[in-house]
Structure 1
Amino acid sequence: MESTQVKSLNEFHDVINQNKNQWHCWFYRGQSKENYKLTPKAGREPFLSKAKNDQALFEAWYRHAVGLQDINHLTDWEALAVAQHHGLATRLLDWSFNPLNALYFALYGGSLEVNEKDNCVVFAHYSTEEFVDTENHQSPFDISGICRFRPNTVSPRIAQQGGIFTVHSAPHLCLEENLHKDERLLKIIIDKSVKKELSQELSHYGVNSLGLFPDLDGLSKHINWAFVNLDYS
């Protein structure tokens, strides 16, 4: 795995731009800690040590979700993508076609404020592997290894985030240890000293909670952030 460190949005752009002739083969994921592995939530503790598998977790979620939202028309693939975007621990790992979206998630993780104590990271994954054929694999629980899944736009969040996924047949499988032949993985480390500045620059370009979470939750989160971090006086 290659690695580089950046201290500005311009430097980040320069790293991404090195591969501009193959952009369609690159996918991006932001993580708030540089030592985190590329492993789905269902493959991490405390979920990993539980006796029930991630399929049982999804089935429990689905039984309750049908009473809260109209998801009966969705395939299992689509429903699992919706569950992932609403926080369920699944075998899916989020990626994006948009490197700036990935940078946002690296800076914030799941928090309202940027953590300026630690470096964060954007992973860039190069792959020419075909996306999984969901017609032939009707269930996300009958695949083997790690494959890529491009969901239909079944929620505004997936659309806005440019969301795609890697699907890990055993959720504890980490991508960096299971790359396919000819795949590449680049680790772009974001220096902690510039994280706050980068968050403000991203928001100026519309990459913020409001843009990535087009609902009342995203709006509220963005207004809170802007009130604390931006000076419009």
Structure 2
Amino acid sequence: MGISDSTYRCEKNGVLRLLAAALISEKYIEIEAGYYPSRALYSKIIKQLINGGINMEFSPELINFFNEIREFKEFHGGREIWFRGQTHDFPLNSGLFRPGKVRSLAQIKQSEKSSYRYFLSLGHPYLNGEKDWELLFIMQHHGVRTRLLDWTPALMNALYFCVENPGDQVLWLLNPSALNYLNGLGTTILTLPIDVSYEELLESTTKKFLTAAIHPVRNSARQVIQQGMFTIQGDSNVPLEFEWGGDIITRNILKKIPISKTLEQDIKYFLQLSNIDYFTVYPDLDGLSKHLNKRIYD
């Protein structure tokens, strides 16, 4: 008796538990076109099963992980929570403030002005008259280093970014309304139009950028699918977790959850069950191409 189901396949970074279950109960397995696990890998799986090396259930760690997220949301009265998944435990700096050859705040802000002006000038044929904050959102989308940091209220998308690549993975949780309250911006998430323009802040010698959470104008299918949100990094020139002397952590407005290896495998399996993959996160032809390469050839 053969099995023909795309669920039963080998992934580059692990083996689905369902595949393991199928192998232990069948004489052979039939894989749909495009999936070519080696016989050597089959043998390895069988040995792991015999030796008890593959757990057939979700770990208690995954349940505790979801409970920790639930408790964070309940702590904030059920208000909207944002997530950020990182494959590496880097500080919460936006691209503009990440370590590089430019270090002083004055140098950083001059680089920011240059990037904005060049993008507005050279990108004119490809734009539809966007400027100010809207143009900044477009710059971020296309990979320019800006003072924006990506977040999402969609947990599944954030988890995908956590485990997309190996590393010292972490999931960040943020109450965006409470973040804005810390800076005297009320208890809501900023939306356009806002009182001060980006260009005004960019050119001013007296006004400073404040760290804030903002709901952007979503200018692409990718942003819509990923439910992209941003925090604006202020002129304090420190990562978000060190703002207000770290009070944002101690007041439980911002929280970091490390992802262990056991938790990583559970999350990957959970995402597979939920049909979350590269193409669902990057819904364009480039995303489809990378998804197919990974699914068929890796």
TM-score scaled to structure 2, two decimals?
0.63
In structure 2, relative to structure 1, the CA distance for the partners of 1:144 and 1:8 (3 Å cut) is: same
Q: Deviations over 1:7-65 (max 9, x none)?
A: 8554432222224544433111111212x111101101226338442132122123222
Return 81-90 or 178-187, whichever deviates more.
178-187
User: Equivalent residue for 1:45?
Assistant: 99
- Structure 1 position 193, deviation (Å): 4.5
The 8 Å contact of residues 214 and 231 in structure 2, kept in 1 or not, is answered as: yes
Please, which of 158, 164, 188 is the counterpart of residue 229 of structure 2? 164
The answer to which of 153-162 and 168-177 deviates more is 168-177
Cα pair 2:137 2:217 within 8 Å, conserved:
no
Alignment partners' CA distance in 2, 1:172 and 1:47: 15
Q: TM-score, normalised by structure 1?
A: 0.79
Q: Secondary structure at the match of 2:238?
A: coil
* Kept in 2: contact 1:42–1:48 (CA 8 A): no
Q: Which has the larger radius of gyration?
A: 2
CA root-mean-square deviation: 2.7
Alignment correspondent of 1:30 = 85
Shift, 1:101, TM fit: 1.1
Aligned amino acid, residue 138 of structure 1? S
Q: Which residue in 2 is equivalent to 1:63?
A: 121
1:17 is matched with which residue? 70
Residue type of the alignment partner of 2:95? K
Distance in 1 between residues matched to 2:282 and 2:198, nearest whole Å: 27
Whether the 8 Å contact between 1:39 and 1:171 is mirrored in structure 2 is no
Tell me the residue number matched to 2:133. 77
Distance 1:20 1:196 in 2: 24
Higher strand share: 1
Aligned length: 214
Distance in structure 2 (CA, Å) of the matches to 1:194 and 1:10: 10
2 CA distance for matches of 1:183 and 1:66?
Answer: 43
Once the two structures are superposed, residues 137-156 of structure 1 have per-residue CA deviations (whole angstroms, 9 ceiling, x without a partner) of 22266253201110122211
Mapped contact 1:8–1:198 kept (Cα < 8 A): no
Conserved 8 A contact 1:91-1:170: no
Contact 1:144 1:169 in 2 (8 A): yes
- Structure with greater helix percent: 2
Q: Which range moves more in the overlay, 119-128 or 48-57?
A: 48-57
Q: Does the CA-based 8 Å contact 2:80-2:153 persist in structure 1?
A: no
Provide the secondary structure at the position in 1 that maps to 2:85.
strand
* Deviation larger for 189-198 or 159-168: 189-198
Which sections of structure 1, spanning at least 5 residues, go unmatched?
1-5, 109-113
Identity %: 25
Q: What residue is the counterpart of 1:111 in the other structure?
A: none
Higher RCO, Cα 8 Å, sep 6+ = 1
Which segments of structure 1 move beyond 6 Å, counting only runs of 4 or more? none
Query: Which whole-Å CA distance do the structure 2 matches of 1:228 and 1:19 have between them?
Result: 40
Paired residue type of 1:209: Y
Q: Say if 2:283 is the partner of 1:214.
A: yes
Matched, 1:119 2:176: no
SS at match of 2:151: strand
Structure 1 equivalent of residue 259 of structure 2: 190
CA distance in 1: counterparts of 2:236 and 2:112, whole angstroms? 8
Q: CA deviation at 1:166?
A: 0.5
